[in-house]
Amino acid sequence: MQEQSAGSFFFQGAVEAAIAAGYRHIDTAYSYNNEVDIGKALCSKTKQGIIRRQDMFIVSKLWCTHHAPEDIPVCLNKSLKDLQLDYLDLYLKMGDELFPKKDGKMLTCDIDYVDVWRGMEALQASGKVKSIGVSNFSILQLKRLLALCRVPPAVNQIELHPYLVQTDMIEFCKSKNIALTAYSPFGSPARPPELFRGDTDPHKLLEDPVVADIAKKHRHSPAQVLLRYHVQQGIAVIPKSDKPHHILENTKMFDFSLTEEDMRALRGLDRGWRACIADCCSVSQNQVSSILPLCLRLPGEWREQTAHWIDEYHKHQQASDQLHTVCCTCSITHCNSSVPCLHNNNRI
């Protein structure tokens, strides 16, 4: 669950409603600025005897400002403190993020994500994190990680829905025993207006006629069909809602099955469209520089991918301006202005 616009009491209430409805997997991140409220909700439901710690699956994410080896535990410890937990079930390293900016330039860091991963492995060894995974990693990044690391990523959390089917990624992850988590399953209809891309933007996945027809046939809602689509492929899915009736509705997807024809029709909607353009806006210097030395020694596909990344990095640096706002506590600009800076702890 990402940060909500409403007050924290409201947000805590939404998490409590989700737990009461049966949700046990909570997705958060330090940068979502909601971990204190999630911690309160977890505490409250534990005190009421509704849940025990071991019933829950709590996922958080390392922030891009904390990639230096000594900073990685700092970010985790902050999340644990805010969530009032002594361990996480899964901690994710993002593959691409919005880095802070200063004087119009992105403050990226050149730490190789493979080295960051070694820091993640150390967290797992410490017992503060049960599993480690990645988010928004490409197949190329996963291949490199698998080739160089001791602990393979347990999960890749990526955007997935019928407008972004990603068959290659699904097959690759299955072949490597990497579980997938699908985010933005409804195409993130509440994303900020600056992330909409005009009339051609097919942002109404929930209103797509193909989805609507399948929903009508099964006497379920379009949202339930879009969730069932993942579950039926063995993919975990993390919808977001702060409305109690939607929170409940989204749990009711285990009492029907989509036919092979339904699945084909849904996959047929694929158009390679992403709701979260942040990931392509923020192809970082980190990705470029860490992959470059390797690619210079390798021909073909790898070299092409690198050229593609460098291209994207330059192309989208400008677009990412729209996604950055001035931080509430310092002059550096962030993707999320309400997240207090931890700049004194980082190396960028």
Ligand X SMILES: NC(=O)c1ccc[n+]([C@@H]2O[C@H](COP(=O)([O-])OP(=O)(O)OC[C@H]3O[C@@H](n4cnc5c(N)ncnc54)[C@H](OP(=O)(O)O)[C@@H]3O)[C@@H](O)[C@H]2O)c1
Considering only 44-52, 107-115, 137-145, 233-241, which stretch makes contact with ligand X by CB under 6 A?
233-241
DSSP state, 253?
-
Name the residue type at position 234: G
Of residues 11, 183, 273, 309, which one binds ligand X by CB under 6 A? 183
Name the residue type at position 10: F
Which residue, 51 or 248, is less far from ligand X as judged by CB? 248
**Is 113 designated active site?**
no
**Interactions with ligand X, residue window 144-163 (CB under 6 A):** 157
Q: Examine residue 242 and tell whether it contacts ligand X (CB under 6 A).
A: yes
Q: How many residues bind ligand X (CB under 6 A)?
A: 27
Binding mask 244-263 for ligand X (x = CB under 6 A): --x--xx-------------
Smallest distance from the beta carbon of 42 to ligand X, in angstroms? 16
Considering only 41-49, 235-243, 303-311, 313-321, which stretch makes contact with ligand X by CB under 6 A?
235-243
Which residue, 295 or 335, is less far from ligand X as judged by CB? 335
Residues 6+ apart with CB under 8 A from 19: 41, 42, 45, 50, 51
Q: Examine residue 243 and tell whether it contacts ligand X (CB under 6 A).
A: yes
Q: Kindly name the residue from 30, 32, 163, 229 that is annotated as catalytic.
A: 32
Q: What is the DSSP string of 267-291?
A: HTT-----S-THHHHT--HHHHHHH
Q: Quick one: tokens of 109?
A: 């860091």
Of residues 145, 238, 339, 348, which one binds ligand X by CB under 6 A? 238
Smallest distance from the beta carbon of 92 to ligand X, in angstroms? 7
> How many Cβ atoms are within 10 Å of 209's Cβ, its own excluded?
9
DSSP state, 260?
H
**Interactions with ligand X, residue window 107-146 (CB under 6 A):** 135-136
Q: What is the DSSP string of 174-237?
A: HHTT-EEEEE-TT--TTS-GGG--STT----GGG-HHHHHHHHHHTS-HHHHHHHHHHTTT-EE
Q: Which residues bind ligand X (CB under 6 A)?
A: 1-2, 27, 135-136, 157, 183-190, 206, 221, 223, 238-243, 246, 249-250, 276
